[in-house]
Amino acid sequence: MNQETVAGSDLKEIEEFLGGLGIDGRHSRRLLYWVYRRGIRSFEEINDIPLKFLRVLSENAVPGLSLPIASEVSSDGSVKYLFTTKNGMAHETVFLPDGKRRTVCVSVQSGCRMGCRFCATGKNGWNGNLTAGEIVNQVISIPHEITHIVMMGMGEPGDNIDEVIRACRILTAGWGLAAGRSRVTVSTVGVTPSVRRLLDETECNITLSLHSPFPEERLTVIPAEARWPFAATLDMLKQYDNRIKRRFTVAYVMIEGRNDTQRHIEELKRLLAGTGIRVNLLPYHPVDEEDDRSSDMSVMMQFKHELVTSGIGASVRKSRGTDIAAACGMLAAKSSHGVKKMNK
């Protein structure tokens, strides 16, 4: 029997679905509350919808949530979780606690097609897109209270934009997870038509993975630059009528000698001064035997200083979870071999 999956559905779809089963549509919000906020894996856990309706529901639908199958804890407190879809597509999720801020970094695809040079995920190919239900499941089904959600794990959001936009709506809607829109960030290499849709159809924050302010240098690391030049995305962000104060950020992974010179900082300042777009400076994690290594912290701090004194908001992100290869966007697509198996 083909059963409907509640996780990934919106309020209107559930109202119509329940209506088709002869169940009063007024129960829709309660059903979504139990799935999205309480994370139920069986409708039997619901205690405020009449039993006769729950029986009909159980025959025709499933909540559609699943627990991670493995986890690995870093010495700094971050935790990597391994999920798998019904079709066996592995994807990773990272929990990053930092004081009161508790961020979850979710995947939007199993693997990635973008092939960025500094990324372990990109080196391991692509298995398929995750559904919106599978994206939000990663937020709901890890055992932590979450304050911030970033789509910065495996996969390129711009390459799965329908499901990413649907997931953004579920994460922020009152009938969904009700996360404030300022707490949800989508990180992209800048798939231009998808960024346009993110701007028009969501209110989430957007991070552009830049790497270099020079297109020809960026191209050597981010092949997507050939098809979607970053300049087009930056123009869209600059021209956006940002009345609701969405946060736009440029992520800049710093590699010694390659993109951390004075020439780079001057061009970054030229591109970003006066735009309100912030810069997030990130340490580089070598993914294999490459010679490249991260810029020194002193260089990163100097970069930050120069940006800030030019009126550009900037921050340096700490290296997290290096012992478990858990940095967002650099999740090693390693198998669950050697990863602690969880009790289901």
204 given a catalytic annotation: no
Strand-pair partners of 188: 208
Q: Which stretch binds ligand SF4 (CB under 6 A): 29-37, 111-119, 165-173, 283-291?
A: 111-119
- Which amino acid, one-letter code, is at 177? L
User: At its nearest, how many Å lie between ligand SF4 and the CB of residue 224?
Assistant: 7
DSSP reduced 3-state for 50: coil
Question: E-strand spans in the chain?
Answer: 4-5, 61-62, 70-73, 79-84, 90-98, 101-106, 109-111, 126-129, 148-151, 184-188, 205-209, 248-254, 278-283, 314-316, 340-341
Of 105, 116, 119, 328, the catalytic one is: 328
Q: What are phi and psi of 303, to 5 degrees?
A: -55, -50
Q: Which stretch binds ligand SF4 (CB under 6 A): 23-31, 56-64, 80-88, 118-126?
A: 118-126
Question: What Rg, from alpha-carbon coordinates, does the chain have?
Answer: 21
Give just the sign of the alpha carbon dihedral 212, 217, 222, 226: positive
Q: Which stretch binds ligand SF4 (CB under 6 A): 16-24, 30-38, 107-115, 172-180?
A: 107-115
C-alpha–C-alpha distance, residues 194 and 207, integer Å: 13
289 given a catalytic annotation: no
**Site membership for ligand SF4, residue 254 (CB under 6 A):** no
Q: How far is CA 148 from CA 71, 145, 186, 194, in A?
A: 20, 10, 11, 22
User: At its nearest, how many Å lie between ligand SF4 and the CB of residue 139?
Assistant: 18
Of 15, 72, 92, 225, the catalytic one is: 92
Q: Whose Cβ is closer to ligand SF4: residue 57's or residue 287's?
A: 287
Q: Which stretch binds ligand SF4 (CB under 6 A): 137-145, 154-162, 288-296, 318-326?
A: 154-162
- Residue 243, both tokens: 């009345």
**Site membership for ligand SF4, residue 326 (CB under 6 A):** no
Q: Whose Cβ is closer to ligand SF4: residue 54's or residue 189's?
A: 189
User: At its nearest, how many Å lie between ligand SF4 and the CB of residue 157?
Assistant: 9
**Site membership for ligand SF4, residue 154 (CB under 6 A):** yes
Strand-pair partners of 282: 253
**Site membership for ligand SF4, residue 114 (CB under 6 A):** yes
Active-site positions read 92, 328
Binding site for ligand SF4 (CB under 6 A): 112, 114-116, 119, 121-122, 154-156, 189, 329
